[in-house]
């Protein structure tokens, strides 16, 4: 793994650094590039101006008491209600460790079930983020459970993991939603491809499976969560060669990253959604964004000198 990426990912797990960095004005300023604001209102306002559908996620992970986890579930209930009232094309994506997975799997499932029930009442999709490999088995198990109760549940899968090709064998026949991403956590070389070129190649192999006619017949909602222009071009080309209409390809990107490409894809007729994160607990998430593109560190530094 690239040294800078490694250091940034290690930093994302450091409490010492989090406590200090989040107080610095120039860091807070730099964060706004990836986040329209800390509140739900800011995320909804951004949805109105983007002109494409969005997925909202409240930042936060690894909560340390169950009351916090219940508060997160209540927050997402409010979000679902606000989405209903606004009539905006918005979905939500949740992290299981934010719903209490570290503390009690049972409570986490209970919290998630309340959200799945509400999403079902509103006929909305609900997504489950995927975190580090410490949680992969439990996340996929819980996904399967929720999907049995309501078919519009989706989970994220990571192309950097060797296991994902195998996981797909059991996930694909279930239908539901699968959002393919490269993977954002620090993983050892016996679990994840250390070389970026191998991750990229595996991404395309997995994408190809998601596009196959057999999988499409199972009505899996496949999402390509990437900003990578080479991969996007290959997926578009594959879609064309399979005779798929442009809207059958759904791409998702993160707020603030490659906005012109988001517009180009939407103009080409593809389905495009932007994932908007909001909330106060942005530190580990922001460090993962820096690790994805260490050149972003220069952007933070420029913010320091701009003040
Ligand atoms: C919708 C969505 C949901 C996600 N959900 C999860 C999840 O649940 N679990 C998880 O582990 N990961 C998740 N991720 C993050 C993902 O794993 C990658 O870390 C991230 O998308 C960067 O990979 P990439 O495919 O864009 O390719 P890369 O090869 O990293 O980037 C390709 C190009 O995109 C641009 N780019 C990428 N990242 C940045 C950045 N941070 N800043 C500026 N430019 C950038 C650059 O131009 C870069 O050259 C999600 C990503 C998306 C888009």
Query: Ligand 1 centre and the CA of 227: distance in Å?
Result: 6
Give the closest residue (by CA) to ligand 1 atom 28.
228
> What was the pLDDT predicted at 303?
63
CA neighbor of 116 nearest in space, from 89, 80, 85, 141:
80
Per-residue pLDDT at 41: 95
Of the candidates 18, 118, 129, 167, the residue annotated as catalytic is 129
pLDDT on residue 90:
97
Residues 6+ apart with CB under 8 A from 252: 55, 179, 223, 224, 225, 272, 273, 274, 275
Q: Is the CB of 228 under 6 A from ligand 1?
A: yes
Cβ 130 under 6 angstroms from ligand 1: yes
Whole-number Å distance, alpha carbon 226 to ligand 1 midpoint, is 5
179 catalytic, yes or no? yes
Residue 275 Cβ < 6 Å to ligand 1: yes
Say what the pLDDT of residue 201 is: 98
Q: Which atom of ligand 1 is nearest to the CA of 183?
A: 17
Q: What is the mean pLDDT of each run of 10 residues along the chain (307 residues)?
A: 79 76 71 85 95 94 92 97 95 97 97 98 96 98 97 98 97 97 95 96 98 90 97 98 96 95 96 94 80 73 62
Q: What is the DSSP string of 46-67?
A: HHHHH-SEEEEEE---S-SSHH
Rounded to 10 degrees, what is the CA torsion of 88, 244, 257, 51? -30
Q: Is the CB of 183 under 6 A from ligand 1?
A: yes
The pTM of the full predicted model, rounded to 2 decimals, is: 0.92
Q: Which atom of ligand 1 is nearest to the CA of 275?
A: 1
- Give yes or no: 240 in active site: no
Q: Which two tokens stand for residue 39?
A: 């509140």
Write down the catalytic residue from 18, 118, 152, 179.
179
């Amino acid at each position: 793994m690239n040294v800078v990426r490694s250091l940034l990912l290690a930093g994302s797990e450091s409490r010492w650094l989090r406590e200090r960095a989040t107080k610095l004005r120039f860091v807070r300023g730099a964060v706004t590039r990836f986040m329209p604001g800390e509140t739900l209102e800011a995320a909804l306002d951004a949805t109105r101006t983007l002109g494409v559908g969005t997925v909202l996620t409240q930042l936060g992970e690894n909560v340390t008491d169950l009351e916090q986890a219940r508060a997160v579930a209540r927050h997402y209930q409010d979000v679902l209600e606000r989405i209903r009232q606004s009539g905006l094309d918005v979905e939500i994506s949740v992290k299981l460790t934010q719903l209490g997975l570290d503390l009690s799997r049972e409570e986490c499932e209970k919290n998630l079930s309340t959200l799945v029930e509400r999403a079902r009442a509103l006929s909305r999709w609900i997504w489950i983020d995927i975190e580090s490999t410490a949680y992969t088995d439990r996340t996929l198990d819980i996904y399967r459970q929720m999907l049995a109760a309501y078919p519009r549940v989706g989970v994220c899968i990571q192309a950097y993991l060797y296991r994902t090709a195998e996981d797909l064998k059991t996930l694909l026949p279930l239908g539901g939603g699968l959002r393919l991403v490269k993977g954002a956590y620090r993983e050892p070389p016996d679990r994840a491809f250390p070389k970026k070129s191998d991750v990229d190649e595996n991404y395309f192999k997995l994408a190809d499976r998601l596009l196959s006619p057999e999988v499409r017949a199972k009505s899996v909602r496949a999402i390509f969560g990437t900003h990578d222009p080479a991969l996007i071009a290959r997926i578009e080309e594959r879609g064309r060669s399979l005779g798929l209409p442009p809207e059958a390809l759904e791409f998702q990107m993160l707020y603030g990253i490659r906005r012109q490409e988001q517009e180009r894809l939407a103009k080409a007729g593809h389905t495009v959604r932007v994932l908007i994160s909001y909330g106060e607990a942005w530190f580990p998430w922001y460090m993962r964004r820096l690790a994805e593109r260490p050149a972003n560190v220069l952007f933070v530094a420029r913010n320091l000198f701009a003040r």
